[in-house]
Amino acid sequence: MTTQFKPWWMPLAIVALLLTSVLLFALLVLKSAITQPTQTRELQSQQNNPVYRWKMVTTWPKNFPGLGLAPENFAKAVQKMSRGQLVIQVHGANEIVPAMGVFDAVSSGSVQMGHGAAYYWKGKIPAAPFFTSVPFGMNAQELNGWLHYGGGLALWREIYAPFNLLPFAAGNTGVQMGGWFNREINSMADIQGLKMRIPGLGGEVFTRAGGEAITIPGGELFTSLQSGVIDATEWVGPYNDLAFGFHQVAKYYYYPGWHEPGTTLEIIVNQEAYTALPEHLQSVISVAARMVNQDMLDEYTSRNNRALRELIDQHGTELRKFPDDVLAAFRRISFDMYDEMAAEDEMFNKVYRSYKQYLDSVRSYHDISEETYYLSR
């Protein structure tokens, strides 16, 4: 019989190996205990909080100053507030649909959202311009009061509901400018036969006053004015008008923007897409819309005056005020026209009654507060 040689350290090595294995096993068990619930939680989170990827079409060129920045700011705010759960890709005019195709694209559900202005759709809905701006109507502050505390938004939703659309106020330019003219306007005689780009109900008034209102998208205005296709154009105000370079092709810059005294922009959401969202994401949309609605007005308030100074001091633009009798004639034509349109269209009548009643009541205070203060400071 031979005795097998066993080194003295062998039992120690076996114990050490066993201990290491136990330790490694314990570590693995611990790791899996820590990571598995996290993975499970993430999986559950993805199932409970799916990411929504939406498309938003706009009536503005991509990133156009002011108007075109609102949809971008809106999309960024929504993404942050929803912690990445609602991601909105913004498309400028003509990327998916042309500017005037926004309403139909959102209505049909081919995209989920749009940004533009209600008065572009007056051919489909005669009362729509009240939710953007109407000649001699409310200013930004008053319109926001009517929309959010005077029943205006509920009426807006009522007239858009048959089109499967949910509207939100989403931007305001404040009082616009009267426009760029190649000749001076000294009386109503100078309006006769004048070809002017002027949209919405302002265009109707201008035509009734003897002018010729022409509809041209923003991107074509400069060349139309330069080539004489039109004699005059309005756009927005100094900030946007300077960016378009109208001062290079027209000499006189008229005020005030009687036709757009506080232009509200809109976000429209496809009703089915909106209904399919969880409630907290619906709230995110609503809060982000209120944010850009105010933010745009703040931006215009800050930038318009700087741009106006540049137009006058550096580019020789001549400021002119419309003669009082021209403004009075435009005003008379406007309210006659509203009465006439109210008699023709039931919904126009309903919206106009609410709008006019609010305008009259808010004026009784604004005449002694805002207006008197403006005149006395």
Part of the chain binding Ca ion (CB under 5 A), chosen from 171-179, 291-299, 336-344, 358-366: 171-179
Give every strand in the sheet of 318-321, ordered side by side.
Answer: 212-214, 195-197, 232-233, 179-181, 252-255, 318-321
Q: What's the min distance (Å) between Cβ of 200 and Ca ion?
A: 8
Part of the chain binding Ca ion (CB under 5 A), chosen from 55-63, 64-72, 139-147, 168-176: 168-176
The percent helix, strand, coil of the chain (3-state, each to 5) is 60, 15, 30
How far separated are the first and last CA of the chain, in Å rounded? 121
Q: Which is nearer to Ca ion, 82 or 240 (CB)?
A: 240
How many other CB atoms are there within 10 angstroms of residue 323's CB atom?
15
Part of the chain binding Ca ion (CB under 5 A), chosen from 111-119, 126-134, 162-170, 174-182: 174-182
Give the pairing of strands 179-181 and 232-233. Answer: antiparallel
What is the rounded distance in angstroms from the CA atom of residue 145 to the CA atom of residue 166? 19
Q: What's the min distance (Å) between Cβ of 173 and Ca ion?
A: 8
Per DSSP, which regions of the chain are E strands? 52-58, 86-91, 113-116, 165-172, 179-181, 195-197, 212-214, 232-233, 252-255, 264-270, 318-321
- Give the count of residues interacting with Ca ion (CB under 5 A): 2
Q: Which is nearer to Ca ion, 157 or 195 (CB)?
A: 195
DSSP 128-149: GGGGT--TT---HHHHHHHHHH
Q: Which is nearer to Ca ion, 85 or 176 (CB)?
A: 176
- Which residues 73-92 are close enough to bind Ca ion by CB under 5 A? none
Q: Which is nearer to Ca ion, 176 or 264 (CB)?
A: 176
Q: Which is nearer to Ca ion, 260 or 266 (CB)?
A: 260
Q: Identify which of 192, 135, 126 has the alpha carbon closest to the alpha carbon of residue 347.
A: 126
Q: What's the min distance (Å) between Cβ of 257 and Ca ion?
A: 7
* 14-to-4, 24, 27, 28, 90 alpha-carbon distances in Å: 17, 15, 20, 21, 67
**In terms of residues, how long is the chain?**
377
Strand, coil or helix: what is 375? helix
Q: Which is nearer to Ca ion, 132 or 271 (CB)?
A: 132
Spatial contact of 78 and 284, defined as CB atoms under 8 Å apart: yes
Q: What's the min distance (Å) between Cβ of 241 and Ca ion?
A: 10
Q: What's the min distance (Å) between Cβ of 104 and Ca ion?
A: 22
Binding mask 255-294 for Ca ion (x = CB under 5 A): -----x----------------------------------
Part of the chain binding Ca ion (CB under 5 A), chosen from 153-161, 173-181, 308-316, 333-341: 173-181
Q: What's the min distance (Å) between Cβ of 210 and Ca ion?
A: 21
Binding mask 209-248 for Ca ion (x = CB under 5 A): ----------------------------------------
Q: What's the min distance (Å) between Cβ of 235 and Ca ion?
A: 6
> Could you list the residues that contact Ca ion (CB under 5 A)?
176, 260
